[in-house]
Chains A and B, each alone.
Chain A
Amino acid sequence: TQLLEQSPQFLSIQEGENLTVYCNSSSVFSSLQWYRQEPGEGPVLLVTVVTGGEVKKLKRLTFQFGDARKDSSLHITAAQPGDTGLYLCAGPPFPKAAGNKLTFGGGTRVLVKP
């Protein structure tokens, strides 16, 4: 079973500060997805990273896929209260699983205080 471990589990910061969330595995993933889940809602896909070393930016969010495709990070610059939520990383195991199933990390709960 290929696991994804996220750290930290919980992060509380003030508006304007930066934060980084990590997603690590001992296994290779062919791609990784990052989702954000707001209270009472389902997860919403933010980005998919596919190539080792890839960096993608989405406004103040920067996503990086490790060179060996075993880890990923999410960095938020100048966090705002609207960034509050549960951040989940997920990825398809390698080799591919039937039904294109995803492995999900346990999530990092981010609270940005005004």
Chain B
Amino acid sequence: NAGVTQTPKFRVLKTGQSMTLLCAQDMNHEYMYWYRQDPGMGLRLIHYSVGEGTTAKGEVPDGYNVSRLKKQNFLLGLESAAPSQTSVYFCASSFRDWRSYEQYFGPGTRLTVT
């Protein structure tokens, strides 16, 4: 049982390049989330999904797109990276029921945009 895994762990991009971050969970969770964590800013929600085939915007969605084609996977895309997107990105998942507020996090992806 791997929990929540993220790929890659580290990445350096040049401004304007694109990339996709992959999140996978094996806990059969319905809900999945993408956050970014910046010094002094805490965790901010980028996008989330309440089920396969559905996505919704969070607090800071601009410059990102997501897709959830399979229940266990949640992809975060950067179409044209900007230095302001330098951050640590975390994926999380949770159940839909009374346990839904207990989120399980992946190990993070550290992204640097130069």
Contacts and interface: CB of A to CB of B under 8 A. Distances in A.
A11 interface: no
Nearest to B48: A99
Interface residues of A, number: 23
Contacts of A92: 101
B48 A42 contact: no
A101 B48 contact: yes
Contact of B43 (A40, A45, A99, A104): A104
Interface in B91-114: 92, 94, 96, 100-108
B101 A48 contact: yes
Contact of B90 (A42, A45, A99): A42
Interface string A33-50: 101000011111100100
Contact of A91 (B31, B56, B101, B108): B101
A100 B42 contact: no
Interface of B: 4, 31, 33, 40-43, 45, 48-50, 56, 58, 90, 92, 94, 96, 100-108
Given A44-B105, A106-B41, 20 more contacts: A41-B108, A42-B4, A42-B105, A42-B106, A42-B107, A42-B108, A43-B43, A45-B104, A48-B102, A88-B43, A90-B101, A90-B103, A92-B101, A99-B33, A99-B49, A99-B50, A100-B100, A101-B58, A102-B101, A102-B103
Interface of A: 31, 33, 35, 40-45, 48, 88, 90-92, 98-102, 104-107
